[in-house]
Amino acid sequence: MVDLYKKYYLDSETIKEILQNGIVVFDTSALLDLYYYSSETRNEIFNKAFNYLKGRLWIPAQVYFEYLKNKSKVSEKPILSYERLLTKQSKDGGYVNSIVDKTKMLQGQSLGEIKNQLKTLKEQTLGTDKHPYLSPDVYAEYESVLSVVENQLTDFSTKTADFQTRIQKEIEKKIAELQSDLLPDNVNNAIESSFQIGKEYSFSKMMEIAREGSFRYSEEIPPGYEDGKEKTGLQKYGDLFVWNQILDCAKSTPQAYRFDLLDRKYHEAFEKEIGIYGSSYTNTMMVELGERLYFAAGSDKNIKLTTKDDLELFKAYLKADKDSWLK
């Protein structure tokens, strides 16, 4: 069983090699999570990780669509998380105001009730002519402690009010920083300047994948079949679109192999009947034969001339300024 999945196992050296040479693909949640980080952490990611992976960062068109669709809502959540510290929203939050309210209750209502109960108790027990009767000495020490507590609660209440003021100012400062970060949107700017974005699918292509997805989801075949339980329309096939777009990127032409390797592997494939029958795709064959494939940073303008539309696009590139696309 281990040998069966050995080619899919990523040891530390393989992971290191991928990070040094491979194309790194982000999903939607990874992009949106950037809005939750502090500006310091986020800038460290931009300056170190993004720069290290420069030219090798890629996202499928579906991921970019989902990111654009959700970024406005997600980018507001860090601001709401600060506001929730002050004011209760839904079932949680309002911690600061709750502390202040409880302090007021402790000083006012709770302490007042204790004092009232003590007063009533003394009135009931200090009459010497009938029962119940208790010595005044019983109350002396407790009343002294109660007086100290009352003074301490007054000081505690003052300090709580000061704490509320300080934390509110800090929260307002953080919210202002977050709002300034959104204008301009530094996360969006970093994504658009650092990532290559894959080609969008046509509607007919999306419908073709959706039809396939309908069968896959009914049989609970990943990826994405769990989305079929929660989402509707074409969006429930979002993960399937992403998966197909990643596969398209992985097998996008042109590919380059040394001729001796290619010749040897084709002979091996026919002899072993591996990776060639039922598939004429060279990269698929290479993977099935245990060869490791490598990505190289490219350009969407490096097109394959297959259809008349491809030819027309190529003619348009020829008429454009060659310095902008031809290297």
Coil, helix or strand at residue 92: strand
Two structure tokens written together for 154: 């007054």
Q: What is the dihedral of CA 185, 186, 187, 190, to 10 degrees?
A: 130
pLDDT for res 122: 85
pLDDT for res 31: 95
Q: Rounded CA gap, 274 and 285, in Å?
A: 7
pLDDT for res 47: 92
In the chain, where are the structural domains located?
Answer: 1-196, 201-250
pLDDT digits over 94-140, tens only? 888 888 888 888 877 788 888 889 888 888 888 777 788 888 888 88
pLDDT for res 63: 95
pLDDT for res 123: 86
pLDDT for res 33: 94
pLDDT for res 254: 63
Cβ contact 245:198 at 8 Å:
yes
User: What is the residue type of 254?
Assistant: P
Burial code of 104-126, b = ≥16 C-beta within 10 A, e = fewer?
Answer: eeebeeebeeeeeeeeeeeeeee
Cβ contact 239:223 at 8 Å:
yes
φ and ψ at residue 254, rounded to 5 degrees: -80, 155
Q: Rounded CA gap, 292 and 283, in Å?
A: 10
Dihedral sign computed on CA atoms, order 296, 300, 305, 306: positive
**pLDDT-flagged residues of the chain (< 50):** 1
pLDDT for res 302: 67
CA atoms within 13 A of residue 47's CA, in its CB half-sphere: 6
* Residue 48 DSSP class: I
